[in-house]
């Protein structure tokens, strides 16, 4: 068994044989940043100051050769083979939010877009309400032992809220994109019914609001990456923040901006918030009112070429996250003020994709 020491806080925790740094930290109650848990998104990146680790599960796809030369490691995949001294960010706000498993019941199912289903889930009878922070996600636990992660699209009500606090009290909102050929999302799209039960685990993730800043905030969402961004934006609106907020939401078509009226209402009602809808597919001039054409991260940089004075939150598919991360840092954004979430694929699906790229197993 090896020991990990964090320079920022002095926290120390043991790591069992074959265990990743992230797994050991979570077991010890130390909140390190993470998202995809498959070595692809890079949100759990840290700097190795002393010691050595290996990657026996998945290769560190999110680490460039340059990053590895600077001794960067991915905590979700790094397995220590000696004691480690790490420079890593901790997300203290999630320390006291307990993760647990519970049964939930589907209370509402509706179509948000041609390929996006909205779900509302309520804890089953006898289950206490789930607590989470805006921007976190949960795993749906499948019978075959696999998991499917989904962002929670709303914030949890205060623990002190009365049990009769309205029809949405204790509800969990999800936005589920139907992936053609995807077993679970096809089942949700075609067969899941109101009254059905699901087993979930949560909350997960460290994509949460950072309130210890007065800097302007930029939010960028791609597709259903809008779900956690929605929860965080609503959180800051609820706080009455006066910090300037810019919201960029990119999708293929106008129909994929499935809650555009909500974002437009935010912009009307809150002078410090501006909304920028961006689509990648050309649209007829008559339908292009208020829309921008192109890639969402490029639109953001056209408006904000210098990001040195901002905090930036982004959520969406891995390709968008990687392009945004690289370009935003080049535009002066300190990496410590870039918060992102990327889990377009479940960890086991990502593992299949990575194996296929390596020529080990066709997907």
Write out pLDDT tens, residues 163-209.
444 555 689 999 999 987 668 999 999 999 999 999 999 999 999 99
Please, is 129 exposed, middle or buried when counting C-beta atoms within 10 Å of its C-beta (0-12, 13-18, 19+)? middle
* pLDDT for residue 357 is more than 90: no
With cut-offs at 50, 70 and 90, classify the pLDDT of residue 349. Answer: low
Q: What is the distance between the alpha carbons of residues 92 and 26, in angstroms, rounded to a whole number? A: 12
With cut-offs at 50, 70 and 90, classify the pLDDT of residue 348. Answer: low
Q: Are 132 and 203 in contact (CB under 8 A)?
A: yes
Mean predicted confidence (pLDDT) in 19-25: 95
Q: Are 344 and 317 in contact (CB under 8 A)?
A: yes
Q: What is the distance between the alpha carbons of residues 117 and 192, in angstroms, rounded to a whole number? A: 11
Mean predicted confidence (pLDDT) in 131-149: 93
**pLDDT tens, 286-326?**
567 889 999 999 999 999 999 999 999 999 998 899 899 99
Q: What is the mean pLDDT of the chain?
A: 89
DSSP state of 57: S
DSSP-derived 3-state class of residue 214: coil
- pLDDT top residue among 289 and 340: 340
Architecture of domain 217-341: 3-Layer(aba) Sandwich (3.40)
The reported pLDDT for the residue numbered 175 is 97
Mean predicted confidence (pLDDT) in 225-248: 97
* pLDDT for residue 354 is more than 60: no
CATH topology of domain 2-90: Ubiquitin-like (UB roll) (3.10.20)
Beta bridge partners, 84, equal 4
**pLDDT tens, 84-137?**
999 998 887 887 788 999 999 999 999 999 999 999 999 999 999 999 999 999
Domain chopping of the chain, boundaries: 2-90, 100-204, 217-341
Peptide bond into 267 cis (omega under 30): no
CATH code, residues 100-204 = 2.40.30.10
* pLDDT for residue 162 is more than 70: no
Q: What is the distance between the alpha carbons of residues 319 and 336, in angstroms, rounded to a whole number? A: 21
Q: Global pTM?
A: 0.84
């Amino acid at each position: 068994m090896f020991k990990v020491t964090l320079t920022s806080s002095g926290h120390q925790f043991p790591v069992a044989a074959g265990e990743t740094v992230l797994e050991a930290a979570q077991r010890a109650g130390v909140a390190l940043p993470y998202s995809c848990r498959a070595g692809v998104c890079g949100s759990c990146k840290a700097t190795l100051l002393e010691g050595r680790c290996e990657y026996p599960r998945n290769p560190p796809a999110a680490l460039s050769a340059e990053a590895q030369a600077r001794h960067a490691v991915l905590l979700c995949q790094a397995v220590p083979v000696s004691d480690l001294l790490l420079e890593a960010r901790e997300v203290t706000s999630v320390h006291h939010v307990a993760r647990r498993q519970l049964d939930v019941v589907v209370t509402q199912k509706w179509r948000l877009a041609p390929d996006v289903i909205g779900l509302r889930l309520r804890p089953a009878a006898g289950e206490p309400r789930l607590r989470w922070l805006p921007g976190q996600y949960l795993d749906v636990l499948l019978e075959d032992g696999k998991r499917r992660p989904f962002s929670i699209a709303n914030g949890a009500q205060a623990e002190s809220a009365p049990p009769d606090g309205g029809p949405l009290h204790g509800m969990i909102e999800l936005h589920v994109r139907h992936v053609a050929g995807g077993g679970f999302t096809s089942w949700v799209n075609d067969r899941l019914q109101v009254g059905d039960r699901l087993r979930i685990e949560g909350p997960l993730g460290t994509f949460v609001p950072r309130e210890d800043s007065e800097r302007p905030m930029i939010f960028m969402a791609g597709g259903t990456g809008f779900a956690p961004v929605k929860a965080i934006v609503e959180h800051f609106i609820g706080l009455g923040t006066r910090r300037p907020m810019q919201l960029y939401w990119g999708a293929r078509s106008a129909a994929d901006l499935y809650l555009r009226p909500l974002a437009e209402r935010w912009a009307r009602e809150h002078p410090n918030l501006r909304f920028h809808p961006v689509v990648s597919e050309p649209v007829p001039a008559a339908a292009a009112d208020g829309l921008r054409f192109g890639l969402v991260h490029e639109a953001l940089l056209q408006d904000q070429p210098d990001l040195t004075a901002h905090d930036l939150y982004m959520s969406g598919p891995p390709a968008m996250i990687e392009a945004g991360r690289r370009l935003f840092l080049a535009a002066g954004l300190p990496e410590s003020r870039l918060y992102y979430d990327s889990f377009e694929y479940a960890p086991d699906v990502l593992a299949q994709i990575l194996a296929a790229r390596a020529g080990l197993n066709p997907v």
